[in-house]
């Protein structure tokens, strides 16, 4: 029978989630674990049961954005989605999908635009960027599928104006199965061009 958490643990979890959300919103931290550890460090030794989940931190971040500068957040999010739309149109041959915080709406001013693209060879993406005169760096991202061990995926990172684009490259059949979200472990939400246009039109 699972052990029930105490009210003290529940209160601490909420406080830690709020602090972690604030660190993400104000200090450019994009990784949930880093934000969680930074928040916990303020309270010394924190039991595992009192640590918030990534989902709790995301909910606290959404609440923070609603309470502090909602109109600024909406404008910033629209600009990020508009930038994502332009990049996706330019690279439409790779069936791009928007994922992550810019899609879900919890992006901060420091968030990268995260895209998934699909091709027979990662070199095709590099060539497409070079043809367009876009400087980029090669990256690698390790992603989970269900309960499997993380798999490495090649990627590229580049700037579009002041916005950072973090693009993960999948094989063509990777479009059928999305990797697990770091927030809740479920398959990542993905939006194609049509879905992003519809989201921006709401």
**Domain boundaries, given as residue ranges, for the chain:** 7-67, 70-201
Mean pLDDT score, 75-104: 97
| Token pair for 139 | 């990256």
pLDDT of residue 2: 46
Contacts of 73 (CB under 8 A, 6+ apart): 65, 66
Mean pLDDT score, 90-96: 98
CB 184 within 8 A of CB 54: yes
pLDDT of residue 202: 84
Contacts of 8 (CB under 8 A, 6+ apart): none
Give the domain 70-201 fold. Beta Polymerase; domain 2 (3.30.460)
pLDDT of residue 45: 63
Phi, psi of 65 (to 5 degrees): -65, -35
pLDDT of residue 12: 85
Tell me: the pLDDT tens digits for 113-155?
999 999 999 999 999 999 999 999 999 999 999 888 999 999 9
Mean pLDDT score, 53-69: 87
Q: For residue 166, how many other CB atoms are within 10 A of its CB? A: 18
- In the predicted structure, residue 65 carries a pLDDT above the cut 60: yes
Alpha-carbon span 137 to 40, nearest angstrom:
33
pLDDT of residue 141: 95
Comparing 16-30, 82-96, 178-192, the range with the smallest average pLDDT is 16-30
Tell me: the pLDDT tens digits for 4-58?
556 777 788 898 889 988 888 888 788 888 988 888 888 876 777 778 889 999 8
Q: For residue 18, how many other CB atoms are within 10 A of its CB? A: 19
Angstrom distances, CA of residue 133 to CA of 127, 159, 160, 171: 10, 12, 12, 24
Alpha-carbon span 172 to 2, nearest angstrom:
42
Band of residue 81 on the pLDDT scale cut at 50, 70, 90: very high
CB 51 within 8 A of CB 13: yes
Nearest to 167 by CA among 132, 106, 126: 126
Per cent of the chain over pLDDT 70 is 96
């Amino acid at each position: 029978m699972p052990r029930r958490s105490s009210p003290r643990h529940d209160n601490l979890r909420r406080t830690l989630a709020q602090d972690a959300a604030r660190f993400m919103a104000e200090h450019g931290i994009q990784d949930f674990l880093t934000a969680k550890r930074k928040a916990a460090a303020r309270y010394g030794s924190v039991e595992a049961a009192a640590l918030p989940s990534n989902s709790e931190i995301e909910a606290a971040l959404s609440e923070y954005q609603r309470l502090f500068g909602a109109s600024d957040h909406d404008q910033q999010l629209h600009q990020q989605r508009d930038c994502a739309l332009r990049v996706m149109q330019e690279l439409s041959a790779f069936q791009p999908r928007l994922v992550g915080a810019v899609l879900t709406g919890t992006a901060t001013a420091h968030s990268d635009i995260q895209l998934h693209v699909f091709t027979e060879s990662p070199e095709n993406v590099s060539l497409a960027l070079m043809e367009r005169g876009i400087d980029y760096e090669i990256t690698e991202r390790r992603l989970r599928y269900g309960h499997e061990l993380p798999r490495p995926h090649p990627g590229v990172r580049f700037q579009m104006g002041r916005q950072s684009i973090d693009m993960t490259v999948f094989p063509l059949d990777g479009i059928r199965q999305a990797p697990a979200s770091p927030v809740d472990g479920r398959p990542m939400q993905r939006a194609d061009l049509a879905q992003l246009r519809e989201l921006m039109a709401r």
